[in-house]
Amino acid sequence: MKTIILLVLVLFAPALHAEPLNYDYLYFSSNDTESDSGQDTGGEAFGGFWEFADTLHLFGSYDDAGSYTGTGANPLWQYDTRTLRAGIGGHYLLGTRVMLAPSIAVLHARREINASDWNGLRKYTDTGYGMQLDLRYAVANWLELTAGSRTSRIFGENETDLVGGIIFHPTHWLALGAIYHDSDSQSGAELTVRWYY
């Protein structure tokens, strides 16, 4: 029993000094989504955040999961969407462990659509926007709960997601998380890894 307690203390000791509510990190996420019509999609996102001033941050990402564009108008067609995102946000502490973080972003996406009765792919590009509001709660230095709402408009489509998840901070430089997404047209899960700098 003493060995188990010692092992737990060694594993969690670095997390006692973690700062889970900051915005200086790079991340990699893997998404798995199912539409209401039963269509499964998935993909990855790479990105980063940089905190400046006391309450502001910049961010950018590359996403091949179609996270900002929904599932497409026709469930019989195949959609392949890649999105670049860049934006600015604020983060405001409410007390010492709760943070409210609104943000706005520009989205630039390229979409390829294929259907069985077409001769080839049809390619489209569009520029739109995204907005989100996140609520983050540091239960402890090693555990964070997050919830929020995200909305985007691109390719003439509006997509609004409600999200909720848990982020585990085993050290001051690493975090692992699972986030659930739900919208009118699709729902899914995101597994994420963050590297804090």
pLDDT score for 112:
82
Distance in angstroms between the alpha carbons of the first and the last residue of the chain:
35
pLDDT score for 159:
87
Q: Is the pLDDT of residue 42 over 90?
A: no
Please identify which residue in the block is written with the tokens 């392949």.
Answer: 80
d(CA 28, CA 151): 21
Return the amino acid letter for 167.
I
Q: What is the Rg, in whole angstroms, of the alpha carbon atoms belonging to the chain?
A: 19
* Residues 128-156: tens digit of each pLDDT: 999 999 999 999 999 999 999 999 998 88
- Residue 84 or 36, more confident: 84
Question: Structural domain boundaries of the chain?
Answer: 2-196
CB atoms within 10 A of CB 136: 19
- Report the candidate in 62, 19, 68 with the shortest Cα–Cα distance to residue 41: 68
Phi then psi for residue 8, to 5 deg, are: -65, -45
pLDDT score for 19:
67
Q: What b-and-e string marks burial along 11-47, b requiring 16 or more CB atoms within 10 Å of the CB?
A: ebebbeebebbebebebebebebebeeebebebebeb
**Pairing outcome for strands 174-183 and 98-114:** unpaired
What does pTM read for this prediction? 0.82
CATH 2.40.160.20 at 2-196, yes or no:
yes
* Residues 76-132: tens digit of each pLDDT: 667 778 899 999 999 999 999 999 999 999 999 998 877 777 777 888 899 999 999
Over residues 24-51, the mean pLDDT reads 87
Q: Is the pLDDT of residue 2 over 80?
A: no
Tokens representing 173? 């430089």
Over residues 59-86, the mean pLDDT reads 76
Strands (E), 115-185: 122-140, 143-154, 157-168, 174-183
- Residue 180 or 9, more confident: 180
